[in-house]
Amino acid sequence: MSDWESVIGLEIHAQLATASKIFSGASTAFGADPNTQACAVDLGMPGVLPVLNREAVSMAIRFGVAIDAEIDRHSVFARKNYFYPDLPKGYQISQFELPIVGKGHISISPGEGEQKEVGITRAHLEEDAGKSIHDQFPEQSGIDLNRAGTPLLEIVSEPDMHSAKEAVAYARKIHSLVRYLEICDGNMQEGSFRCDANVSIRRKGEQELGTRAELKNINSFRFLERAINFEIERQIDLIDDGGRVVQETRLYDAERDETRSMRSKEEANDYRYFPDPDLLPVTVSDEDIALIRAGLPELPEQKKQRYIDDLKLSDYNAELLTSNRDTALFFEAALAESPELSAQLVNWILGDLAGALNKAGLEISDSPIKPAMLTQLVARIADNTISGKIAKEVFDAMWQGEGSADDIIEARGLKQITDSGAIETLIDEVIAANPEQVEQFRAGKEKVLGFFVGQVMKQSQGKANPGQVNAILRDKLK
Ligand code: ADP
Ligand code: MG
């Protein structure tokens, strides 16, 4: 394994979040009944003409500006010809020689404290095809053309990645970026964000690229990592056994965790690309680009730096909070109520909340605990209404839907006991009940203090203020 270096380049298809299709007015909403969202243009009826969706162009430029790419002032749509039942026109409108977004780059963080630049070759606009459905009608296939004509941004990377881990970090970074830019919803189950991975190997130190296989059908980051790792090992074994890698497209089978040959490059189509005579070239002015640049939201890198500079968060926590836009939005909403509690909020969001969400398989946007609820909980620890330990109980109750922190503290009688008279009474009882331990403490066995604190806390059902308990106990035991 160590003699070899793997080389990976990704092609990512991000479905642009426009309301209508790239060349027609039909809706792009997901989940409608088959073929109810395919108009005459999407169906490729004779005599219809495509009209370019301005918003799709503007979203592509937004992406280009965010990765520091050259935006081509003049780009052209081309026909990519091939036959398939879910492609009624017999060609897909795409961009070939003059894509709208040229060379750019993005910085990824494959591991804690690691940083790496990945080149982006190009990003171009194209329309999606329809869908063939093979599992609904016995011995027949169905065609759903709702997806035909949905705008896609195909983002092509340079072959700059050298491990599955780097490839996943890159894919996650692009995923995060398109969501920040609000140009794609990033939903991988619904196919709004799809990755193809090109994988080859070469001997370490070699400059020339090896022959690559292209892996398709990958719909999660976990599978992306597994598919690439499987493929690297397959290629190494193949060469070690005296074989050679052939250029081909392979499908990843998640159930068997392996890749299988789909078609070799020899059988691949010649797409006969040519400029689409139905569409004018797209011209973009400097003013268009300046306007889009001015409208960019705060991007993950900037947000992270702001958290580090202004909120004094660690690099690591700032990275965790900003890598997912929804997490950052949650944090900022929680913070808006009580900016002075930032450190505690970070701990709860990255700790208990992240853990609970992970366990339940929920996204933070679907959290049953809303930002303001978390802020209230943290505020009740800060103002000594409850201890940190009781807070965990309140957190669980909020998660179960029992209401706000204040409601739960009230209903369950969890208010911390800070009345020193009441605490003294509890302590006196515990001391009277444990004469042996008192002797031990007085003989110099300091550790016994922990036992007494535990007993008092237990007697108070966790509600006594631990700081006060400690101080009063020390006094009384002496
Ligand atoms: P195609 O259009 O046939 O898919 P491209 O040349 O556009 O081919 O490359 C597609 C992707 O494959 C790019 O992301 C590129 O970085 C990557 N790639 C090209 N050659 C190799 C290679 N030898 N090993 C790994 N990745 C590669
Ligand atoms: Mg390709």
Confidence band, pLDDT 50/70/90 cuts, at residue 337 = confident
Q: What is the pLDDT of residue 174?
A: 98
Residue 8 sits at the vertex; the CA angle it makes with 6 and 14, to the nearest 5 degrees, is 160
Q: How far apart are the first and last CA of the chain?
A: 66
Most ligand 1 atoms within 8 A of CB, residue of 94, 124, 156, 248 to mutate: 156
Phi, psi dihedrals of residue 219, rounded to the nearest 5°: -120, 20
Q: Is 249 left (phi over 0), alpha (psi -120 to 50) or beta?
A: beta
Does the beta carbon of 335 sit less than 6 angstroms from any atom of ligand 1?
Answer: no
Most ligand 1 atoms within 8 A of CB, residue of 156, 195, 198 to mutate: 198
Q: Which atom of ligand 1 is nearest to the CA of 160?
A: 16
46-91 pLDDT per residue, tens: 999 999 999 999 999 999 999 999 999 999 999 999 999 999 999 9
CA of 121 to the centre of ligand 1 (A): 10
Q: Which atom of ligand 1 is nearest to the CA of 159?
A: 16
Q: Which ligand is nearest to the CA of 10?
A: 1
Instruction: Collapse the DSSP code of 400 into the 3-class scheme (helix H, G, I; strand E, B; otherwise coil) and give the result.
Output: coil
Q: What is 211-244 written as a DSSP string?
A: P-EEEEEE-SHHHHHHHHHHHHHHHHHHHHTT--
Structure tokens at 409: 């503290």
Structure tokens at 116: 């790496």
> pLDDT exceeding 90 applies to what percent of the chain?
82
14-41 pLDDT per residue, tens: 999 999 999 999 999 999 999 999 999 9
Does the beta carbon of 158 sit less than 6 angstroms from any atom of ligand 1?
Answer: yes
Residues 6+ apart with CB under 8 A from 21: 27, 28, 41, 42, 53, 127, 149, 150, 151
CA of 11 to the centre of ligand 2 (A): 7
Q: Which ligand is nearest to the CA of 265?
A: 1
Q: Which atom of ligand 1 is nearest to the CA of 209?
A: 23
CA of 130 to the centre of ligand 2 (A): 19
Burial degree of 47 (CB within 10 A; 0-12, 13-18, 19+): exposed
Mean pLDDT of the chain: 94
Q: What is the pLDDT of residue 466?
A: 85
CA of 243 to the centre of ligand 1 (A): 22
pLDDT at 419 over 90: no
Does the beta carbon of 249 sit less than 6 angstroms from any atom of ligand 1?
Answer: no
Does the beta carbon of 10 sit less than 6 angstroms from any atom of ligand 1?
Answer: yes
Residues 6+ apart with CB under 8 A from 204: 2, 3, 4, 5
Residues 6+ apart with CB under 8 A from 17: 59, 182, 183, 184, 185
Q: Which amino acid makes up residue 198?
A: N
Does the beta carbon of 200 sit less than 6 angstroms from any atom of ligand 1?
Answer: yes
Mean pLDDT across the stretch 174-189?
96
Q: Which ligand is nearest to the CA of 121?
A: 1
Does the beta carbon of 209 sit less than 6 angstroms from any atom of ligand 1?
Answer: yes
Which helix (DSSP H) or strand (DSSP E) does residue 451 occupy? Answer: helix 448-459
94-121 pLDDT per residue, tens: 999 999 999 999 999 898 778 899 999 9
CA distance 44 to 270: 21
Instruction: Collapse the DSSP code of 148 into the 3-class scheme (helix H, G, I; strand E, B; otherwise coil) and give the result.
Output: coil
CA of 202 to the centre of ligand 1 (A): 15
Q: Which ligand is nearest to the CA of 162?
A: 1
Confidence band, pLDDT 50/70/90 cuts, at residue 268 = low
Q: Which ligand is nearest to the CA of 120?
A: 1
